[in-house]
Homo-oligomer: A and B are copies of this chain.
Amino acid sequence: MSNRAARTAPKIPAASGKRTANGKARALEADGEIGLDGLLGHAGYAVRRFQIWIFQDFVCTLAAVDIKPTQYSVLTVIGANPGLSQMAVAQRLGIERARLVHLLDSLEDRKLVRRVRSRTDRRSHALHLTARGEASLRQFKLLAAEHERHVAEKIGSENREQLLRILSSFT
């Protein structure tokens, strides 16, 4: 256990403490229970809250190597498919090519990725990991696996797998 989820990032309010900082719970409304009414039946709301939690845990877990979820996804795809064009990566990950430009600029500055001009199509760049990039990615994957264990601890291992099945059509 411990403070795994408190490093560089957000303010993770110690889960569900909800006291007014000095120990006195808010007594304004009813009993402290604020109803969500219709929101409880909305998948989008639950998913949004979960997404925020998962994002924060990922950032915290990979804070030491300064890799954010999007960067990780880009490195992973390039690592698994060397030579892809920026367009192909952007399409596959569902991010805009305009945004990928900046992501790659950053990763290239850190010597993790190389842009090589394609000879078959001189408009596009073939993307490759550098040696340093491949070594780093191996380490990132270890940390990402640790993050994934946090998720399993949070919602339950079987629930996590079920969730992956349910959402498999979105990958």
Contacts and interface: CB of A to CB of B under 8 A. Distances in A.
Given A29-B83, A36-B76, A38-B144, 18 more contacts: A28-B85, A34-B84, A35-B81, A36-B171, A37-B77, A37-B80, A39-B171, A43-B54, A44-B54, A44-B147, A46-B163, A48-B55, A48-B69, A49-B170, A51-B51, A155-B166, A155-B167, A163-B166
Interface residues of A, number: 61
A163 B170 CA distance: 14
B29 A81 contact: yes
Interface stretch (A87-95, A98-106, A108-116): A87-95
A151 B76 contact: no
Contacts of A132: none
